[in-house]
Amino acid sequence: MPDQASNPLFQMIPFVLVFLIFYFLVIKPEKTKQNERKKKLAELKKNDQVVTAAGIHGIIVNVKETTVIVRVDDNVRLEIDKEAIVTVKEVAS
């Protein structure tokens, strides 16, 4: 009577199950977050309130291809890379 545990297909089942669980609990949600962030950065517009990774709070004055001009105080404007923006709050005009 042959032992079923010696079959290579039966030995791979636990690895496949672990990978599937890992994929649905870690990889897929992370991809979804990345896609949402890319969409938010692509939709940046004037008067959006933003917070950067450095903790700078400001309002977008101008949107360029890879950067934005952010007003942080009266007569103080900073050019910031879009990738540095962590939080976006739309402001009703």
Handedness of CA 58, 64, 76, 86 (dihedral sign): positive
CA distance linking residue 5 with residue 13, whole number of Å: 11
Nearest to 69 by CA among 18, 40, 61, 36: 61
Verify that 35 and 50 share a domain, yes or no: no
**pLDDT at residue 46, as a whole number:** 93
**Distance of CA 69 to CAs 1, 47, 48, 65, 81, Å?**
75, 11, 11, 11, 9
Write out the residue range of the structural domain in which residue 50 sits. Answer: 45-93
Element (H, E) at 50: strand 49-52
What is the number of domains present in the chain?
2
* Domain CATH code at residue 74: 2.30.30
Verify that 5 and 26 share a domain, yes or no: yes
Verify that 49 and 93 share a domain, yes or no: yes
Verify that 34 and 51 share a domain, yes or no: no
Report whether 58 contacts 71 (CB < 8 A). Answer: yes
Verify that 22 and 52 share a domain, yes or no: no
pLDDT by 10s per residue, the chain, length 93: 555 557 888 889 999 999 999 999 999 999 999 999 999 999 999 999 999 999 999 999 999 999 999 999 999 999 999 999 999 987 665
